[in-house]
Amino acid sequence: MVSNKAHCWLAIPAILIILTISMQGKTSVSKQAFGHTSDGTAVDIYTLADGKVEARVITYGGIIVSLRTPDRNGKLDDVVLGYDSVDQYIAQTPYFGAIIGRYANRIAHGSFQLDGKTYSIPKNNGDNALHGGIRGFDKVVWTAQQIKDGVELTYVSKDGDQGFPGTLTTTVRYTLEGGALRIEYAATTDKDTVLNLTNHSYFNLAGQGKGDVFGHVVKIDASRFTPADASQIPTGELKPVEGTPFDFRTPHAIGERINADDAQLHLGKGYDHNFVLDHAQGQLTEAAEVYEPTTGRILRVLTTEPGVQLYTGNNLDGSITGKEGRVYKQFFALCLETQHFPDSPNHPNFPTTELKPGRAFHSVTVFQFEAGTR
């Protein structure tokens, strides 16, 4: 609700408001229409700007449509892949920028057991369920309300939705402050269920659609990763990264080892693997850092989650035309999906993804943007 005092401020010329926000480092939040789904449901777009970074989020899929950040010279550019219209997001599904749920990543054979009962999720990735099934959280319209420094999105997934048990109420808050986009997830259920939430932004710190990410220098705080089989399902092993192309404990460019003669890289057609973070689960700690040398842009990823999936856009093939008419080819982006591990319901040795009634799920991930010279 807008107060009478706020109405007075609305009478001030817009340019003055913008200058005031820039000088004080405050975050502005605005809402506009972004189109409709095929059934006529309205989709809105929220723009968050803190004088340094601008983030735009739509209510369809909770998608981060754009992230404009400065390079070392102060030049702004959009650093995430996406589309210009809601129709394109609905028609194509690379999960650009979306909230992923109920279960991010893969569930083997679309099946898991909970409390002695077997549950089946629609298979949409060969013999596996990927990112919550055929109609996951990326394909629904979320209820939105403006909050301080951002927007809060809510979605109620009914008992049996995509085969998952329990009515699940999920809230995701996007807030922007000091060049950091904070994503806060919360959820409750009325029946035992499983849950794994993430954001699936595709980053190219040189600018969206501007070439491959081979020059991006990546550091990940992980001594182990979860090897996968030919269908990208974890084998259950927590394998040390030492001596492998998966050792990013010290910074390495993506292109340095992506074509190495390594069975895991061959199976994934590049990096598409979950890294077991070294920090204690539940503590908001830096998990990964990406540096793009031509622009000086730096992305730091902080999370409370136990894992992060590094994906290098292996399945982009040039068939997608994204924002500003730019064609997205293989390796034109990388994702850092903070998460619990893939197929955890079928691996008792992995951190549990079970959520019970009376308990609240809570997770935080932060995308911090900086720029400089190294």
Given CA atoms 123, 204, 199, 65 in this order, what sign does their dihedral have? negative
Q: Which of 292, 305, 337, 340 is catalytic?
A: 337
Question: CA distances (Å), 58 to each of 63, 73, 77, 137, 252, in order?
Answer: 5, 29, 19, 13, 34
How many C-alpha atoms does 270 have within 13 Å on its Cβ side?
Answer: 20
Dihedral (CA of 110, 63, 227, 193) sign: negative
Is 337 a catalytic site residue? yes
Amino acid (one-letter) located at 278: D
Helix (H) or strand (E) holding 266: helix 263-268
Q: Is 200 a catalytic residue?
A: yes
The two tokens of residue 137 are: 């959280």
Residue listed under structure tokens 């590049």? 270
Nearest to 365 by CA among 308, 298, 323, 294: 308
Q: Pick the catalytic residue: 200, 216, 252, 347?
A: 200
- DSSP type of residue 94: S
> Among all residues, which ones are annotated catalytic?
200, 337
